[in-house]
A and B are shown apart, each in its own frame.
Chain A
């Protein structure tokens, strides 16, 4: 109990720092971020992408019993849906702190532009949140509807692929531009969703002293195996992306991505986020241990977090057109403390919502 209180206090401090950052950013301006006219998308947006795709990945997992009829996954359905909500709220916080004028978001309704993928994404997210809240309520009260489960599954596919469309539309920045991302995003989201579920479930069980039943243990082993396979698939796609865009392409527009290949986020994504979890989860003796699964999940999430930043920076570090005037060919980026606070805000709020859920909403229980 005392440990939990300290944990909640730490999260509240994170949220207070986030609120102070919000006040500072909207009173002083976005100069508090390491942003220039070139680096228009940075850590707050990449954190939003990380959360958003993790939430979509969790939706794929939560849909397994309803959409694919694999009943043993019902045991983790409630926790997965609740975690999706918490992660989605975290993503909204980072998105809001990325926007220059978030209060004008009402114009998405008043002045819609259906040719914009960003407009579709906004609409889908609102629907997604409403559906998730409804689904959680139905599970909590003991009767999940199949229609709702299918809708969440579909909307998770649409949000993650629309994010790929949003970046794929940017002809000006080929390092971001590939319909490839409409496939890559849901797949990486699935990997990070599974990692989040394994990590949160096992760490909570460890700290709360709950015993993991044999059935659940087998289920987490199965999830660990799937996570390893998916991380391996992502690893192969990642290597192809590196070869096609970073090594074999001669287009100058890929200069930004070529620059990112040697960067810290790229290497974290590759070694920690993909190679290590794949290796760990494909070795049965490690996969069978709790700490093996926890380590692999944590590494995968750290790698994905770094990967989203690498991806965003690949599109912006090379100045375009008149923005290149008087600037180096590649602009360097180091996040400011305020940008780190934005990410901290998102994580703290997400973790607090999840902790409250674990404490009061009986996430262990399965829907009937």
Chain B
């Protein structure tokens, strides 16, 4: 995946759509961001980097998993099998990017509430779920069940799968499709003619914590800055 930081406006559509697509519980972020500020007031700037699992070629989470619950698929996706996960969280210790989450409790606890939000006016969250026939949440996406339990149980870890269930059907990951600025480009890194490879050859890409040698498969290109400054000779 290539993320074009010049196009990314930081709207968070990727995170919201990911949450809906993968029935991600509150507290977990398969798709997230890193924000930073640089400079000293009043000369400050805000940076925004969207983040997700980097699907590293040499993934430390895969290497360390004692049961192969965390494993690589043939297409390079780093996948997780909750049925084999013993919940040791060694993958979380090993991941330098902080993209793996542990389910400390049952998913979507707020949708299990049986008390109406406003007594006599609204229905309870649990009733809402029942009304629409959802499975734990009213917006449950059954397509997620294709390769992974739609909602993962407590006591195991979970993370971004590059929407493998969609990729298997020739579709784009949901975050790529939902991006209103078309800032995410998804493709085959092994195909030299793919658009991702064209972009990687055209710009100067960077990856997060490259020095760790994990070979992340998420690349970032360009940066956005509307700033300019007057030309001087050495600032004099």
Instruction: Decide if B86 touches A117 in the complex (CB within 8 Å).
Output: no
A324 interfacial by beta-carbon distance below 8 Å = yes
Q: When chains A and B are docked, how far (Å) is the Cα of A105 from the Cα of B32? A: 31
- B180 an interface residue at 8 Å Cβ cutoff? no
| B85 and A28 within 8 A (CB) | no
Instruction: Report whether A322 and B105 are in contact in the complex, using a CB–CB cutoff of 8 Å.
Output: no
Asked whether A108 lies within 8 Å of B66 as measured between CB atoms, the reply is yes
| Cβ–Cβ < 8 Å partners of A31 in chain B | 104-105
Contact A320 B89 (CB under 8 A): no
Does the CB pair B155–A40 fall under 8 Å?
no
Q: How far is the CB of A164 from chain B (nearest CB, A)?
A: 14
Contact of B34 among A111, A173, A176, A322 (CB under 8 A): A322
B135 at the interface (CB under 8 A from A): no
A99 touches B51 (CB 8 A): no
The interface on chain A, measured as residues whose beta carbon lies within 8 A of the other chain's beta carbons, has a size of 44
B155 to nearest A CB, angstroms?
3
State how many angstroms separate the Cβ of B175 from the closest Cβ of chain A: 14
A193 contacts the other chain (Cβ, under 8 Å)?
no
User: Which B residue sits closest to A113, measured CB to CB?
Assistant: B68
Asked whether any CB of chain B lies closer than 8 Å to the CB of A368, the reply is: no
Given known A100-B156, A107-B69, contact A325–B89 (CB-CB < 8 A): no
CB distance from A318 to the nearest CB of B (A): 11
Contact B87 A322 (CB under 8 A): no
Chain B residue nearest to A316 (CB atoms) is B93
Contact with A along B84-96 (1 / 0, CB 8 A): 1111111011111
- A-B residue pairs in contact (CB < 8 Å), sample of 14: A29-B106, A30-B102, A37-B98, A37-B101, A101-B156, A102-B86, A111-B68, A113-B65, A115-B63, A171-B60, A171-B213, A172-B212, A320-B98, A322-B51
Across-interface contacts of A239 in B (CB, < 8 A): none
**Would you give the shortest CB distance from A293 to chain B, in whole angstroms?**
38
Contacting pair A104 B99 (CB below 8 A): no
Known: A29-B104, A31-B105, A322-B98. A170 touches B86 (CB 8 A): no
Q: Bound state CA distance, A347 and B67, in angstroms?
A: 29
Chain B residues closer than 8 Å to A170, beta-carbon distance: 60, 64, 93-94
Does B102 contact A37, Cβ atoms closer than 8 Å? yes
Say yes or no: A116-B63 contact (C-beta < 8 A), given A40-B92, A100-B89: yes
Return the chain A residue nearest B92 by Cβ. A40
B88 touches A172 (CB 8 A): no
Which A299-353 residues have a C-beta within 8 angstroms of B? Answer: 315-316, 319-325
B26: chain A residues at CB < 8 Å are none
Whether B27 and A107, one on each chain, are in contact in the complex, defined by CB atoms closer than 8 angstroms, is no
Residues of the A chain whose Cβ atoms lie less than 8 Å from the Cβ of B68:
107, 111-113
Which of chain A's residues have a CB closer than 8 A to the CB of B29?
Answer: 322
- B208 interface residue (CB < 8 Å to A): yes
| B223 sits at the interface (CB 8 A) | no
A100 contacts B98, C-beta separation under 8 Å = no
Give residues 59-75 of B contacting A (CB, 8 Å): 60, 63-69
A40, B93: Cβ atoms under 8 Å?
Answer: yes
Tell me the complex Cα distance, A29–B97, Å. Answer: 25
B33 CB-CB contact with A under 8 Å: yes
